[in-house]
């Protein structure tokens, strides 16, 4: 395994802050993990506006695929408020573009109100928190890491409310300086802007005093190295996950590799030692 104990301890002594990816780093998402969340959101929309729930979920999936086709390769998040507006427009009679075409700017604006798309984000976030189990070991790991470093979550996610409310409900906020989500920043990893935003929130100069931990070589390793940070790769990932991965060249080599997040404190040489 790349990243010997000696190398890990050298990293542990050299860094001031650690950022952690959310999906499949802090919280595992296997196949079908989001389906119940979408279905619950669709049921709320059906109750509020009389929209057909099955059609809501079908159109939602189609528009998610469209966003991953056009937005994400351009460095933009597949923002859920944009998706919600498109779903409402289609279900209210707005003809969609062809499957291989993107929407024109503002094409759906007149079909919904801002409070309606916000309601969908709220319903989705509430369902996400209810249906996503909190991994029992993560809190103690964050507490241990926070004894040595400034911590932040740094994640691509299309609905920031989902992650923010989950972190609050899990009781992780006391260990974190910031929760930096692509939906709020406006760009996705591996784009430099989201890493620079996290460095600013942490109050640490962007560079090798920061370690980013994630499971996606193309987004996490390449992105961290692109701004001069160190990168740790979590190698274990659900066999079939609904979460996308960034394009990778195969040349991304992490500074440290771990099987799961549980291995991170020991890999950095923690465990009661004074690393100052």
Within-domain flag for 273: no
- Give the Cα separation of 254 and 216 in Å (integer): 10
191 CB-near residues (< 8 Å, 6+ apart): 75, 223
pLDDT in tens, the chain (276 residues): 444 677 899 999 999 999 999 999 999 998 888 999 999 999 999 999 999 999 999 999 999 999 999 999 999 999 999 999 999 999 999 999 999 999 999 999 999 999 999 999 999 999 999 999 999 999 999 999 999 999 999 999 999 999 999 999 999 999 999 999 999 999 999 999 999 999 999 999 999 999 999 999 999 999 999 999 999 999 987 777 888 888 888 889 999 999 999 999 999 999 754 433
Residue 98 lies in a domain: yes
Domain boundary among 85, 113, 131: 131
Closest CA to 62 of 79, 83, 41, 43: 83
Q: Do 189 and 182 touch, CB atoms closer than 8 A?
A: yes
In sequence order, which residues have a C-beta less than 8 Å from that of residue 17 and are 6 or more positions away?
A: 149, 150, 151, 152, 177, 199, 202, 204, 209, 210, 211
Residue 43 in any domain: the answer is: yes
DSSP three-state, residue 163: helix
Long-range Cβ contact pairs of 46-53 (< 8 A, separation 24 or more): 48/119, 49/88, 49/116, 51/88, 51/91, 52/91
pLDDT tens digits, one per residue of 162-201: 999 999 999 999 999 999 999 999 999 999 999 999 999 9
- Say whether both 96 and 152 belong to one domain: no
What pLDDT shows up at residue 33? 86
pLDDT at 111: 97
| Residue that terminates a domain, selected from 104, 131, 158 | 131
Q: Which domain range does residue 140 map to?
A: 5-30+135-267
What phi and psi values does residue 4 have, to the nearest 5 degrees? -65, 170
In a domain, 276, yes or no: no
Helix axes 35-49, 53-70, angle to 10 degrees: 120
What distance in Å separates the CA atoms of residue 166 and residue 163, rounded to the nearest whole number?
5
Report the SS3 class of residue 208. coil
| Domain match, 63 and 162 both | no
24: CB partners within 8 A, 6+ apart: 215, 216, 234, 237, 238, 241, 243
- Give the per-residue pLDDT at 113: 97
- Asked if residue 89 belongs to a domain, the reply is yes
Distances (CA, A) of 121 to 44, 162, 248: 11, 8, 31
How many structural domains are present in the chain?
Answer: 2
């Amino acid at each position: 395994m790349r990243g010997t104990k000696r190398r890990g301890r050298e990293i542990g002594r050299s860094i001031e802050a650690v950022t952690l990816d959310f999906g499949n780093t802090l919280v595992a998402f296997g196949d079908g993990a989001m389906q119940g969340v979408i279905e619950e959101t669709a049921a709320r929309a059906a109750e509020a506006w009389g929209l057909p729930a099955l059609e809501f979920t079908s159109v939602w999936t189609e528009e998610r695929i469209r966003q991953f086709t056009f937005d994400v390769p351009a460095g933009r998040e597949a923002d859920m408020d944009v998706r919600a507006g498109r779903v409402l427009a289609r279900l209210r009679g707005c003809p969609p573009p062809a499957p291989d075409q993107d929407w024109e700017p503002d094409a759906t604006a007149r079909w919904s109100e801002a409070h309606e798309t916000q309601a969908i984000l709220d319903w989705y976030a509430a369902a996400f928190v209810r249906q996503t189990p909190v991994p029992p070991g993560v809190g103690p790991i964050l507490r241990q890491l926070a004894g040595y470093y400034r911590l932040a979550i740094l994640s691509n996610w299309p609905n920031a409310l989902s992650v923010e409310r989950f972190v609050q409900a899990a009781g992780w906020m006391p260990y974190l300086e910031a929760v930096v989500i692509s939906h709020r920043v406006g760009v996705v990893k591996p784009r430099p802007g989201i890493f620079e935003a996290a460095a600013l929130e942490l109050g640490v100069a962007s560079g090798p005093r920061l370690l980013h931990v994630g499971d996606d070589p193309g987004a996490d390793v390449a992105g961290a190295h692109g701004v001069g940070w160190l990168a740790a790769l979590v190698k274990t990932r659900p066999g079939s996950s609904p979460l996308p991965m960034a394009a990778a060249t195969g040349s991304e080599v992490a500074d440290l590799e771990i099987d799961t997040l549980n291995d991170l404190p020991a890999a950095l040489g923690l465990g009661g030692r004074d690393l100052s």
